[in-house]
Amino acid sequence: MFFVVLTLFNAPFDWLAIGLTRYLLRWGLARGGPWPVVLALVDAVSAAFSVALLAFACVEAVQLFGDIAAHFGGGEKARIIHLGDVFASLKQAPTAPENLWIWFMLFSTAIPSAINLLIACAAGLRSWPFVNRWVVIRINDAEAMSEFDKLAVAGALAAQWAVGAIIAYGLIYALFVGVGPYVAPAYAEALRDHSEALARCNVPARVMIWLFGGGWTGCD
């Protein structure tokens, strides 16, 4: 289920996250100034929505293949993942080791957003006029650069990435430590409750019954 079925459902969301990140990154770099950082934060917020959509898609995937396995493989014992047990475990101990794979799978779609924030912070430092003027002064096409200027310019360009990484880490750390304790539990609880409600509805089973002429029944 994890390496085949859920991977097939997870991959489109990861590619969409990468596509959105590339679009916002190019847009921000084209506009310059503070826009790379602003759009990187927009990308981070959008990741919360993509994680929720991925959670709902994974619930439907588990139910769909579980129903198929139960129908053709010998009843309820053929189900690989029992969502009722999963949600019960998430309520009792959401950070337990046996539940970590769920969070890693869901939040894999947020990895491009974190990389976008890193690039945006480095790009923001590259837009500082006085740094660019300092580099241009030392790069003279009419004469060879001295060894000191070579090391200084290379160090300045490398420092922009290093400082950008530190700023990005600081923003992510502030987000998780400063905002996370207030937002993350409520977000995780809402995500779990809505996913559990979707699982109780069992849309794949209702669709299969409707396709075979059994009529459509709404969710409770």
pLDDT at 148: 81
Are 105 and 5 a contacting pair, CB within 8 Å? no
pLDDT at 49: 84
66: tokens are 């579980």
Identify which of 14, 10, 36, 9 has the alpha carbon closest to the alpha carbon of residue 23. 36
Can you tell me the distance from the alpha carbon of 162 to that of 160, in angstroms, rounded to the nearest whole number?
5
Residue carrying structure tokens 């189900």:
79
Can you tell me the distance from the alpha carbon of 183 to that of 94, in angstroms, rounded to the nearest whole number?
15
pLDDT at 53: 87
Can you tell me the distance from the alpha carbon of 92 to that of 176, in angstroms, rounded to the nearest whole number?
22
CA 166 vs CA 62, 116, 210: distances in Å: 40, 14, 55
Can you tell me the distance from the alpha carbon of 46 to that of 57, in angstroms, rounded to the nearest whole number?
17
Can you tell me the distance from the alpha carbon of 99 to that of 87, in angstroms, rounded to the nearest whole number?
10
Q: How big is the chain by its Cα radius of gyration, in Å?
A: 24
pLDDT at 3: 79
pLDDT at 114: 78
Q: CB-based contacts of 10: which residues, under 8 Å, 6+ apart?
A: 54, 58, 105, 108, 109
pLDDT at 181: 54
pLDDT at 150: 80
pTM of whole model > 0.75? Answer: no
- Residue 219: count of CB within 10 angstroms of its CB: 10
Are 109 and 47 a contacting pair, CB within 8 Å? yes
Task: Per-residue pLDDT tens, the chain, 220 aa: give them.
Answer: 777 778 888 888 888 888 988 898 888 878 877 788 788 888 888 888 888 888 888 888 888 888 887 777 777 777 777 888 888 888 888 778 888 888 888 888 888 887 887 777 777 666 666 777 777 777 776 677 777 878 887 887 777 777 777 777 777 666 665 565 566 677 777 888 888 888 888 787 777 777 777 766 767 6
